Amino acid sequence: MLEKYQLIVGCSLFLLYFITNQINPINSLAQMQKDDKFSSRTFEELKDYALTQINEDRKNFGLEPVLPSNNSAAQIQANEILNTRSLSHLTTNGFKPYMIYSLYNGTGYVQQNVAQIQYILPAYYDQKNDQKSSDVCNNGNKYYYCPILDPYQAIRDLEYSMINNDSKCCNNGHKNNILNKFHTHVSIGIAYNKYNLVIVQNFENQYLGSNYTIEKNKNEIKLQARIPDQNKYNFSINHISFFLDDHPTKLSYEKNKNKNSYDLGDLKLMVSKPLPPYEKYIQGDDSYRIVEADRWNSTTSNINLEMSLPDDLSIENRVLTMVVYGKSIENNIDNTNENDYIPLTSYTFFNS
């Protein structure tokens, strides 16, 4: 029975995006003249506008809109990127997106897009210059003219590029994330100054109700939750995967900040529904193991699971991330592919 799991051992990767737009001097002058109006625009208005752009694109592709999430991890990360001028999926303390999302009480499964934009006039922009383009405007370099940006236009340009110009730079990673049919919510972070704008889109799968509870006592884990819209989503719990990663540090940020993707760590364990006495899961990959849950009470609307981590699974001083996967009830299990598994929720434990 192992075959039905082998397709989901990989981790989703999401790419960074940087755009330098070369704009018309006449338009830039108009933007500068309107600058007084920009200062009165609140971040909430900008986030609402960014959400509208996302949902317009989803509507154009026949997808349901995503709802706004109030998780603050995206905003914290956007602020850091603007301050450091270094576009990264990691925070300066080395936290990956799902880690900081859990720290700020996120209970869904998160997949991140990160992007930034600035405008530089082509007559003054030398792409062979050693100076990073993100530093040009901020350093007051007299050889460059950087018009003040309109944050609404910047958000529009970034969204357009991630949907329409994403294949060459990023293998459509941003586009596919925006148009993922399983996403239900998005938390948006926006940070900007006169010349640069950063946006963080943390797309979320939120399928579990507000009575979601999780308990960990040493190696024992209990999960209780409710699926509020079962008739709409029509899936059942399939398995739970556990990933191990090193604790985040400033050193890990410095080593990995320029990577254009991230993963969930190393897959070490899969917990599955207990089988009848005459059946067993076939272990075919030494990098992870499959174990049966201690308790697997999963109905069409409620989840009550208990599981034990193996004693020899070394989690001390490591980060342990649990991802619960669902499976469409309508699909035949023998014809399952990777896209049929739906990440319903994730939770990160910081073990010391």
Residues 285 and 298 in one domain: yes
Note the pLDDT tens digit of each residue in 237-267.
899 999 999 999 999 999 999 888 899 999 9
pLDDT (0 to 100) of residue 27: 41
Residues 36 and 78 in one domain: yes
218-224: long-range contacts (C-beta < 8 A, 24 or more apart)? 219/308, 219/309, 219/310, 219/311, 219/313, 220/306, 220/307, 220/308, 220/309, 221/306, 221/307, 221/308, 221/309, 221/322, 222/305, 222/306, 223/303, 223/304, 223/305, 223/306, 223/324, 224/303, 224/304, 224/305
Residue pair 208/226 in contact by the 8 Å Cβ criterion: yes
> Among 25-29, 83-87, 158-162, 336-340, where is mean pLDDT lowest?
25-29
Residues 169 and 229 in one domain: no
Confidence category of residue 24, pLDDT binned at 50, 70, 90: very low
The last residue of one of the domains, among 205, 235, 252, is 205
Confidence category of residue 167, pLDDT binned at 50, 70, 90: confident
Residues 190 and 334 in one domain: no
How many structural domains comprise the chain? 2
In DSSP terms, 295 is beta-bridged to 306
Residues 199 and 333 in one domain: no
Q: Which residue has the tokens 């699974």?
A: 313
Residues 121 and 246 in one domain: no
Residues 187 and 238 in one domain: no
The last residue of one of the domains, among 182, 205, 228, is 205
The pLDDT of 322-334, averaged and rounded, is 71
Q: Which domain holds residue 150?
A: 16-205
> What CATH number is given to the structural domain containing 86?
3.40.33.10
Residues 238 and 289 in one domain: yes
Note the pLDDT tens digit of each residue in 264-322.
999 999 999 999 988 888 887 788 999 999 999 987 778 899 999 999 898 888 999 99
Residues 236 and 333 in one domain: yes
Residues 300 and 153 in one domain: no
The last residue of one of the domains, among 190, 205, 220, is 205
Residue pair 66/184 in contact by the 8 Å Cβ criterion: yes
